[in-house]
Structure 1
Amino acid sequence: MLLEPGTTCWRVERTPRAAVIIDMADYFTAAKAAMLKARRSIYFLNWAFDPDTAFDPQPGGENPESDLIGAFLKQLAETKPELDIRLLCWKASLPISATQNFFTLKDRKCFVGTTVSMKLDGSLPLGASHHQKMIVIDDCFAFCGGGDIVPDRWDTPCHEDGDARRLQKKRKCYPSRHELMSAVEGPAARALGELFRERWKRATGEEIALPERPLRYSPWPACLKANLGPVAAGISRTQSAYRDAPELRENEALFLAMIAQARKLIYIENQYMTSPIMAEALAARLEEPDGPEVVLISTLHCPSWFDQMTMDRTRSAFLKRLELSNKHRRLHAFCPVTAGGKIIIVHAKLAIIDDDVVRIGSTNLNNRSSGYDTECDLTLEASAPGAATARLQIKALRNQEIAHWLGVQAKDVEAAVAKGGGLGPAIALLQAGGAPRLQRLEPQPLGPLATFIAAHHIGDPIERADAWRPWRRRRAMAAKLRAQKRKLASAGLRTPRTGAIKRVV
């Protein structure tokens, strides 16, 4: 078992059924349907929340007000006055809020004079962000993943070029975007409700009572197909030390344990790939003669100038480190594009290990997601009873995800893996003779400024102590890696065979 409370996760609960939702079109539809079933409470945690987000965008952005989530929640509060509706979002600085249509100002204005309680959470160190994304309904059902509720997150698994439903009010079509969310019910959802209550109390000082008895029903929407379960659901957190809140690095420990345990496959989709700790762990597995395949998917380049200067440069160092260890040729790194060759922004945070574990959440593969920002991941692990069935379900999810990238059927992926002997060769077989939808992602040459940024991880602190002291960062990384290896070993989990953090730029 990878899920070890106190080490790789906070809690492990069973969920009778679970779903992995590919892209936000289906998520928004399912979220609206589930909220309409709510009887007692609806709780949101988000990095960003825009009340003008449409559940079902129409071409040109011409949506009725009733289809916008802000108006929907206000109407729901009026028709069901017994509902306790609360939203907790990061109190973002004005420059960051400006990149998301000033959501912090719009949120508060939208819900003034209603029973919907909207709060902005600034209870964290300067420069850190609250990055968790979830909706908890009646402590019976919950979504958790990487998608925020903002208009430009919406897309379908087809990622169509020029989809008029992605047309903004300024008549500009925003880029295709890939997101993933998970859905659980029962004890796992109740635990996510407890996590919300902890955050709410820390941010506002108000304590929300936990219901003594859960409601004997499930708001699971009819439009959402369960594709996993029953399975063990682990909840892993990241939290920076702040006032009386301790530092939590469960997500980092879980990543290291997952990489160390993999036998055949490590499949990761992530927005940012910059952490030297993770690079060392992956490189060690690539150096093993009989180690697992490592398949990585990320965006060709970040959409924002700041991220291009920081995260993209440092990702090149990450990839270079892996290439130096790829003597057995088991590394496969890709960036997805549309049928027309335009980039698809990979904002999803997904990891699949063999056929045993699927992990979805808000945690990036960078330094700040390991210990500086606030994160939450949900990991679904095949375990008794029903482990054999769960493994087949996880394999099916992996095939479905790859199929969605390549525009083929899941059965085609399954056949190609059997023929090619691995996921990387299977992708090559499926793309042969056609336009490659997954292009090679390779490290880029770095000039003097980019080398300095990558070497010191500018904009990507490892913890609060080095947040504004980048010269301390490399020593902090090595110390954190040693501490995590000791913690994993004491919990009886396999530890990654890594040396000191290497300088590779």
Structure 2
Amino acid sequence: MEDIRDRILRPGVNCGQLARAHRAAVLIDGESYFAAFRQAAMKARRQMFILGWDIHSKVELLRGDAAVKAETDGAPITLGPLLNHLAQNNPELEIYILIWNYSMLLSLERDPNLRFNLGWTLHPRVHFHLDDEHPIGASQHQKIVVIDGQIGFCGGLDLSHYRWDSSDHEPDDPRRTTPAGDHYGPYHDIMMIVDGEPAAALAELCTERWQRATRKSIDVHGQNQWDAWPETVQPWFKEVDVAVVRTEPSYKSRQEVREVETLYRDSIRSAQRSIFIENQFFTSTVVCEALEERLREEHGPEVVIILPKEVDGWVGNKFMEFRRVNILKRVLKADVHGRLRLRHPWVGEQPKHGVMIHAKLMVVDDIFLRIGSSNLSNRSMGMDTECDLAIEASSPEQEAGVRRLRNELLAMHLGFPTDEVDNLTKETGSVVRVVDLLSDPERPDSKPRGLGPLEAQEEQFPELVSEAEIVDPKRPLEIDRLLDIFIPDETTQHSWLRAKWLWVVLGVLALVGLAGAWHFTALSDYANREVLAETMAGMARGWTIYPLIVLAYLIGGLVMFPVTVLIGATAILLEPLPAMLTAFAGTQVSAIVLYFAGMKLGRERIQSMAGSRLNRISKHLAKHGMLSVTLIRILPVAPYTIVNIVAGASHIRFVHYVFGTLLGMTPGILAVTIFTDRLLAFLRQPDLSNVLIMIAALVFLVVLTRWLKRRFT
């Protein structure tokens, strides 16, 4: 294997740039980060940037004794009032907050009314914006704070609720509550703080993202004649080169940046003795393949991976867990030499409480560390916008800082002093051995915390493969490429034409949640074609079956029932020609009713929510009229119901919509009815002719689908 140890960090290849920081330090867990942020923020003179996945104005930055001590400094300890206080008392200070304008799919993970429930009236110089300048389904996942271009924070922590915790991770810490008073479990995360050139680089990144999201340019205003470094934070590194590592998805005219993925691969390849990882997710096939290769080597490095026992959140439980199970099985199978340890942290005695791992950390040997926002997931490699900071030690003092981080984290998780972990690591020469020795419950000095084995559970949701592909894709979805046909890059338009993207289109992903409901609730029973056929056959005889089927299409459209299932059920109930005609009638009636519903709802409500974004995209779609509708009907890039409602709220003419729907639905209706008829014929009479006809129909469907995809992408 090629030795790339001498040059892990390569600007332009696996990082954007290497910049010299006078000081850098690691902040372990929310208690230290929130306090350091407040101290630095209170020193801001001209400019502050906050980029995040989430934010909550009512989060308390200081808790317990720290909050009591802060009463004398005259500044609020709650985020929103603190930012207003800073702006009010410094007429030169401008504060910019850029938060992800999230998809409906993750609305259960965050406050669905973030813009309206911030809990405070913003000062005129506190500028807040929801960032939707990203591919559909992607997120602005960077967690960055920059103060006067001089001090920069970067890592896994948002200034939001459910984030604060101390490094003790006590099971019943009364300080660990949300602004609403809800108690939550232990939570672990990490941030890095830097000054000097890396902080200036982060500031430039923030201005670029602000300009993309708002179409307003701002300059970085730095202040170098004073020190904004938090007084309670001691530097871990001095005069150290720090790499800024990014993921930027391809979007409009922008090319993708995959530095995060490349650096993961390069750093794993460079490891000589040990790889230590903490991460929220582990679903990345690239990282999995790199670790598999190293684990199969006879003299490869040890690998310790610390993950949460269960994937957190609605999306995680329903979709990401399926991917993680497969990845864990793969690396366990590759561990032919017994050098892998998969662990989850726990605290308490009876019962044991799992610690939520939200950190995104990697330490390789004693020379390399990275901290940032990127998960070990496919979407962090090429779909979401990410930012990590990385250090490659170039002196014994810097190596000591890297080693200190790994050993402090092990000591925290295992409940032993850092010195003891450090000495044991030197004595055994093995991180795996330290984990095994200090995790032994039979030790007389064992603690009420530890690192338990993480086993690959049985696949609980094998039917969600396709949905998991949507939730954790490697690149932006095909729908973005389709929409680019109709929507030119805003950067090429005159300023009076510039507007935001279509917020309503993000609602497409809400259908993924409905798909989960079909899988996990009794609703799935009604999607069974046999049940549907028996039910409808018992309801009507003779000609009355036809209006009932059309009515089923109308009701199905209103409740977002899959139209393909309805077409298939129609093909089961009726002969091919009546089935085709009835399916055409049903889809047209449903489409027309929903079009007018969208027109009524959209003109008065949808446009009030999405504003100029909907107007802009609908005007571009209207230029292509019937072609736009036909394309979207043919390609499975948007749910039937959503297309109908958005079309009604758009500028697409009704006649173009009707004929486009008729043309676009024709291939699908013909394919489903013919194939279903041949399948039923085969089941009734499995002779050679029916077998050949069914095979020919299947081949035709596959070829047609591939041709259409190739033609339109």
Q: What TM-score comes out, normalization by structure 1 length?
A: 0.87
Aligned to 1:439: 452
5 Å matches for 1:465-476? 465=477
The reply to whether residue 421 of structure 1 matches residue 424 of structure 2 is: no
5 Å matches for 1:78-93? 78-93=88-103
Whole-angstrom distance in 2 between the partners of 1:190 and 1:442: 43
Instruction: Please point out which of 251, 254, 265 is paired with 1:256.
Output: 265
Taking a change above 3 Å as real, the CA distance of residues 28 and 108 of structure 1, as seen in their structure-2 partners, is closer
Counterpart secondary structure, 1:25:
helix
The reply to whether residue 42 of structure 1 matches residue 48 of structure 2 is: yes
Taking a change above 3 Å as real, the CA distance of residues 139 and 346 of structure 1, as seen in their structure-2 partners, is same
Larger fraction in helix:
2
Aligned to 1:142: 152
Q: Quote the offset at 1:172 in angstroms.
A: 3.5
Larger fraction in strand:
1
Amino acid at match of 1:349: K
Aligned to 2:81: 71
Whole-angstrom distance in 1 between the partners of 2:233 and 2:194: 11
Higher relative contact order (CA 8 A, sep 6+): 1
Q: Quote the offset at 1:279 in angstroms.
A: 0.6
Aligned to 1:289: 298
Instruction: Please point out which of 157, 176, 185 is paired with 2:195.
Output: 185
Instruction: Please point out which of 383, 398, 413 is paired with 1:372.
Output: 383
Whole-angstrom distance in 1 between the partners of 2:334 and 2:480: 32
Q: Quote the offset at 1:170 in angstroms.
A: 5.5
Taking a change above 3 Å as real, the CA distance of residues 396 and 103 of structure 1, as seen in their structure-2 partners, is farther
Whole-angstrom distance in 2 between the partners of 1:149 and 1:45: 10
Structure 2: give runs of 5+ residues left out of the alignment. 1-6, 482-511, 513-635, 637-713
Whole-angstrom distance in 2 between the partners of 1:230 and 1:17: 6
Aligned to 2:371: 360
Amino acid at match of 1:66: P
The reply to whether residue 395 of structure 1 matches residue 406 of structure 2 is: no
Taking a change above 3 Å as real, the CA distance of residues 285 and 342 of structure 1, as seen in their structure-2 partners, is same
Taking a change above 3 Å as real, the CA distance of residues 108 and 202 of structure 1, as seen in their structure-2 partners, is farther
Q: Quote the offset at 1:151 in angstroms.
A: 1.9
Query: Which of these two proteins has the greater Rg computed from alpha carbons?
Result: 2
Deviation per residue, 1:246-299 (Å, 9 max, x gap): 211110000000000010011110000011111110010001111000110010
Whole-angstrom distance in 2 between the partners of 1:58 and 1:389: 35
The reply to whether residue 55 of structure 1 matches residue 61 of structure 2 is: yes
Whole-angstrom distance in 1 between the partners of 2:432 and 2:126: 48
Q: Quote the offset at 1:159 in angstroms.
A: 0.1
Q: Quote the offset at 1:214 in angstroms.
A: 5.0
Amino acid at match of 2:412: H
The reply to whether residue 280 of structure 1 matches residue 293 of structure 2 is: no
Contact 1:317–1:454 under 8 Å retained in 2? no
Whole-angstrom distance in 2 between the partners of 1:366 and 1:19: 26
Moved more, 373-382 or 94-103: 94-103
Q: Quote the offset at 1:90 in angstroms.
A: 0.5
The reply to whether residue 324 of structure 1 matches residue 333 of structure 2 is: yes
Q: Quote the offset at 1:109 in angstroms.
A: 6.5
Instruction: Please point out which of 332, 336, 341 is paired with 2:345.
Output: 336
The reply to whether residue 28 of structure 1 matches residue 41 of structure 2 is: no
Contact 2:439–2:452 under 8 Å retained in 1? no
Counterpart secondary structure, 2:76:
helix
5 Å matches for 1:212-231? 215-231=224-240
Amino acid at match of 1:18: A
Deviation per residue, 1:53-79 (Å, 9 max, x gap): 1111359x9999922100100011000
Deviation per residue, 1:456-483 (Å, 9 max, x gap): 645100001468999x9xxxxxxxxxxx
Whole-angstrom distance in 2 between the partners of 1:410 and 1:103: 43
The reply to whether residue 129 of structure 1 matches residue 139 of structure 2 is: yes
Aligned to 1:105: 115
Taking a change above 3 Å as real, the CA distance of residues 168 and 49 of structure 1, as seen in their structure-2 partners, is closer
Cα-Cα RMSD: 2.5
Counterpart secondary structure, 1:351:
strand
Amino acid at match of 2:399: R
How many aligned positions are there? 465
Amino acid at match of 1:464: P
Amino acid at match of 2:144: M
Q: Quote the offset at 1:408 in angstroms.
A: 1.2
Moved more, 229-238 or 426-435: 426-435
Contact 2:148–2:220 under 8 Å retained in 1? no
Whole-angstrom distance in 1 between the partners of 2:365 and 2:466: 31
Whole-angstrom distance in 1 between the partners of 2:361 and 2:113: 26
Q: Quote the offset at 1:339 in angstroms.
A: 2.2
Q: Quote the offset at 1:401 in angstroms.
A: 1.2
Contact 2:274–2:301 under 8 Å retained in 1? yes
Whole-angstrom distance in 1 between the partners of 2:343 and 2:479: 31
Contact 2:323–2:468 under 8 Å retained in 1? no
Whole-angstrom distance in 2 between the partners of 1:344 and 1:454: 30
Moved more, 234-243 or 89-98: 89-98
Q: Quote the offset at 1:305 in angstroms.
A: 3.0
Whole-angstrom distance in 2 between the partners of 1:209 and 1:168: 35
Moved more, 107-116 or 426-435: 107-116
Whole-angstrom distance in 2 between the partners of 1:396 and 1:48: 30
Whole-angstrom distance in 2 between the partners of 1:231 and 1:457: 40
Q: Quote the offset at 1:180 in angstroms.
A: 0.2
Aligned to 1:116: 126
Moved more, 418-427 or 459-468: 459-468
Counterpart secondary structure, 2:51:
strand
Aligned to 1:475: none
Q: Quote the offset at 1:318 in angstroms.
A: 0.8
Aligned to 2:640: none
Whole-angstrom distance in 2 between the partners of 1:168 and 1:459: 27
Whole-angstrom distance in 2 between the partners of 1:465 and 1:169: 36
Aligned to 1:501: none
Aligned to 1:310: 319
Whole-angstrom distance in 2 between the partners of 1:269 and 1:297: 5
Counterpart secondary structure, 2:61:
coil
Q: Quote the offset at 1:195 in angstroms.
A: 0.3
